[in-house]
Amino acid sequence: MLQTTIWVHLPSYDGNKSNNLANLNLNKPLYLQILHAITEVNENSSIHGLIVQLPLDSIHKIDTEKVTNAVAPEKDVDGLTSVNAGKLARGDLRDCFIPCTPNGCLELIKQTGNTSMLY
């Protein structure tokens, strides 16, 4: 399986701000650029998952819920979209992407043989 990682850097997240600023359109609000990048990933069939690293930029006011919900639920690796978080909260585990840490915990429980705790 081919895995691709696409990084959308925000200028305040690392020490190399000048390089990141060169990739930003300073005439367009930052959150619109982030939403555009997410849309491109959503529409690219060769990319199978997307992680939005939180917290978002603290210098620019960016609506975290709007950004996380822009991710297509089927590509939401962390389960942060409202759709996937709701399915996880309801225990609808067969129809959503389970984030790796909770999924690992579920797998460890299964390996104990005591699956009564799972459902």
* In the predicted structure, residue 80 carries a pLDDT above the cut 50: yes
Confidence of residue 118 (pLDDT cuts 50, 70, 90): low
Looking at residue 44, its pLDDT comes to 92
Residue pLDDT, tens place only, 8-37 = 544 444 444 444 444 556 567 778 888 998
Q: Is 23 left (phi over 0), alpha (psi -120 to 50) or beta?
A: alpha
Of the two residues 2 and 41, the one the predictor is more confident about is 41
Q: In the chain, what are the domains? A: 17-117 (3.40.50.10860)
